[in-house]
Amino acid sequence: MLDYKFIKDNLAAVKENIKNRNMTADADIVVELYDKRTALVTKQQELQTKRNENAKSMKQKLDDAKRAELIEAGKKIKEEVAKVDAELAEIEVKLEEAARQIPNMIHPDAPIGKLDTENLEVKKVGTPRKFDFEPKDHVQIAEELDLLDFDRGTKVSGPKFYYLKNEAVFLEQALIQYALNTLRKHGFELFITPDVAREEVLKGIGFNPRGNESNVYAIEEEGTCLVATAEITLGGYHSGEILDKAKLPLLYGGLSHCFRREAGAAGQFSKGLYRVHQFDKVEMFVYSTPEQSDELHHKLREIEEEIFSGLGLPFHVVDTCSGDLGAPAYRKWDLEAWMPGRNGGEYGEVTSTSNCTDYQARRLNIKYKDDDGKNKYVHTLNGTAIAVGRAMLAILENYQNEDGSVTIPPVLVPFCGFDKICPKTKK
């Protein structure tokens, strides 16, 4: 959430930012409500002064008539205070609700555009493999190797759920161990987070818990939701707290199940493991001072690049355009791995990392005490270390062999306990 005064003082820029993000939000109503609140706070303070003066006068020696006059005045002041308090409380709710619709500002270097096709490639690592046979997509590979069962997943749980089987179970655990060990090497404190979070935490992070546009599963009558990412649970970890500046930045890594409705996400690019309702993910989350956040954003991206370079997967990095950022992100980089089975060979997103500045911290009320003694909002950042399904997809497609087997990336072999997944011998 942006600061109310910032919105008022930079109204034209805020409106342009909303336009560039291809979003709908009313900055004018925020300013209107903010001005009303300011006027009511001033009136509230004036009434408090009058009430104090009235109480002070009551302590003096007074005749009955004067005392009665002051008592009557005190009653009127009390009524006015109650009226202003009620008005102010109502305005506060409307103001916060309107301000929460305003997206974060955009980094000046982020490209302006409406669609992900307007994202800007900033780096390319590795060369897509040239196959001397017709490569298969990961669904065909996994089914032939008996690694995935989407049909029974659908039968038991519904569309976009699946059973992971045989060597794929070890491959998933290997990817998780590989990512966690990488984060540990970089000084991250590691967590396994809850799979459920309160709705107010989701709202603070920037997720919409309810309605047709919501991407999360709400738990009826509980005021909670299944988490779509450990960003939610790690971001809520310090909600309502004042952090010790000397301990910043805090580098957290969280393993969680992730649940997403993926409403409206159909089509060829949603095939198989690319877009499912449940998957495992290791997420990075950082609390920092404003001065640290830009450098830390680069650090998170470098860790993502290290992980996928270590897996030997070709990828490129894109600077996400304004219309594809999402409301909380000030700047976001996506890492897209080469997927030979995707539309004849294309890059597909496997990780992202965002600097959300103080946007989430304002909503979750997370501060630190600065050297001047004042409490200020922290900056928050997040990044995917490994989203297991998409990483597995990329491995199956890039490391497939003509005989139907799949070679395991060398960095994962110690965790898997095998270096190749071979076709099963038919009984």
**Active site residue ranges:** 260, 275, 349, 352, 390
**Rounded distance, CA 376 to CA 370, Å?**
7
Q: What is the DSSP letter of 343?
A: T
Q: Which two tokens stand for residue 56?
A: 């002070």
Residue 286, strand partner residues: 251, 381
Which distant-in-sequence residues (6+ apart) come within 8 Å of 325 by Cβ? 21, 103, 106, 110, 331, 332, 354
Cα angle 384, 388, 390 (rounded to 5 degrees) comes to 90
Pair of tokens at residue 225 = 């939701």
Cα gap 344→117, rounded to integer Å: 18
Phi-psi region at 398: left, alpha or beta (left = phi > 0; alpha = psi -120 to 50): alpha
Q: In sequence order, which residues have a C-beta less than 8 Å from that of residue 134 and are 6 or more positions away?
A: none
Q: Which residue type is seen at 269?
A: F
Of 383, 337, 395, nearest in space to 172 by CA = 395
Residues forming a β-bridge with 285: 252, 382
Which phi and psi angles does 229 have, rounded to 5°?
-170, 155
Within 144-226, strands assigned E span 148-149, 163-164, 189-192, 196-198, 218-219, 224-226
Q: Are the C-beta atoms of 101 and 26 separated by less than 8 Å?
A: yes
DSSP states along 217-248: -EETTTTEEE-SSHHHHHHHTTTT-EE-GGGP
Specify the DSSP element, H or E, that contains 76: helix 64-99
Amino acid present at 226: L
Measured CA to CA, the distance from residue 157 to residue 259 in angstroms comes to: 13
Q: Which residues contact 117 (CB under 8 A, 6 or more apart)?
A: none
Residue recorded with tokens 């008592």: 71
